[in-house]
């Protein structure tokens, strides 16, 4: 597992901004999140691809890959490989026990970016008030690697992340199977039933859903183990944190604009949505 860290000031830092760039931009208040589509249609993937390959995005990627001196700004030459894939997160409706609610919902689309020296990053692409935009850049290939693992382990299943503990699973039929060590700790190496998984997450997060006193109180954290490992950082350096997991987001807009939980897993640079 990578080292965890977190920021309690994400909402101020990740609000909508006027520029697509690496420097964090603060705003008086975050914009209202835009609900994401229920599925990644061909039209949505095409819009995501357009956002991923935009000149501003590629310029930002060059700075991202060059940030630690591994490659020069001019030599980075980032490229986008393959099509955008759907990234699902644990659904609050499922946690709340809503009849017919799926275990996960679409949170954003991810595009794979690769630099000339082999560095990889995931572009998080979401539907915003201004259209489909890149809202975050995260190092590594987690989204793509777990999608492949899930397809191999349970063909046709839904790969999803439980961001509160940075655990990846694949669900299909009545089973939930782990894809990483965090998920194994949560449900065991053999996985669990869908019903047993819902019982677990309801006990862990049921009192922290949107509209709860916990959520309305603006309490940061929400998961004891994550809190114990987390280290709050000032808003001014939040973009250099090791990422920030968010328990409940109304689509990826809320994911980057703020939330309750802290379960950071990878170094990331957030990209403010352009007005």
90, 162 contact by CB (below 8 A): yes
Classified as helix, coil or strand, 154 is: coil
Using a 10 angstrom Cβ sphere, with 0-12 exposed, 13-18 middle and 19 or more buried, the burial of residue 133 is buried
CB atoms within 10 A of CB 194: 16
Please write the tens of the pLDDT for every residue from 112-139.
999 999 999 999 999 998 899 999 999 9
Please write the tens of the pLDDT for every residue from 36-45.
888 889 999 9
Residues in the chain: 275
DSSP alpha helices (H): ranges in 30-141? 42-52, 55-65, 92-95
pTM: 0.71
Residue 264: pLDDT over 70: no
Q: What is the DSSP string of 220-247?
A: ----HHHHHH-----GGGGGGSS----S
Please state, in angstroms and rounded to a whole number, the distance separating the CA atoms of residues 253 and 131: 11
| Total H helices, total E strands in the chain | 10, 9
- Max CA-CA distance within the chain? 53
Mean of the per-residue pLDDT values for the chain? 73
Please state, in angstroms and rounded to a whole number, the distance separating the CA atoms of residues 22 and 29: 19
Residue 251: pLDDT over 50: no
């Amino acid at each position: 597992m990578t080292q965890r860290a977190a920021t309690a000031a994400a909402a101020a830092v990740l609000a909508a901004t006027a520029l697509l760039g690496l420097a964090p931009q603060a705003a008086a208040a975050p914009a209202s999140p835009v609900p994401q589509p229920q599925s990644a249609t061909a039209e949505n993937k095409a819009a995501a691809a357009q956002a991923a390959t935009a000149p501003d995005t590629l310029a930002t990627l060059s700075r991202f890959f060059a940030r630690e001196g591994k490659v020069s700004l001019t030599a980075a030459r980032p490229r986008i490989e393959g099509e955008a894939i759907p990234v699902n997160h644990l659904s609050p409706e499922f946690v709340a026990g809503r009849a017919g609610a799926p275990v996960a919902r679409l949170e954003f689309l991810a595009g794979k970016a690769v630099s000339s020296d082999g560095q990889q990053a995931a572009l998080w692409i979401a539907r915003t008030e201004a259209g489909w935009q890149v809202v975050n850049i995260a190092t590594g290939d987690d989204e793509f690697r777990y999608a492949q693992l899930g397809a191999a382990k349970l063909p046709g299943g839904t790969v999803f992340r439980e961001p509160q503990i940075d655990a990846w699973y694949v669900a299909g039929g009545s089973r939930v199977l782990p894809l990483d060590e965090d998920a194994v700790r949560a449900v065991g190496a053999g996985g669990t039933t869908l019903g047993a998984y819902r019982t677990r997450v309801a006990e862990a997060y049921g009192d922290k859903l949107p509209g709860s006193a916990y959520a309305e109180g603006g309490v940061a954290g929400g998961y004891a183990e994550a809190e114990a490992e987390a280290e709050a950082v000032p808003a001014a350096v939040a973009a250099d944190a090791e990422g920030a997991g968010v328990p409940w987001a109304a689509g990826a807009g809320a994911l980057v604009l703020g939330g309750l939980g802290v379960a950071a897993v990878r170094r990331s640079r957030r990209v403010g949505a352009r007005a």
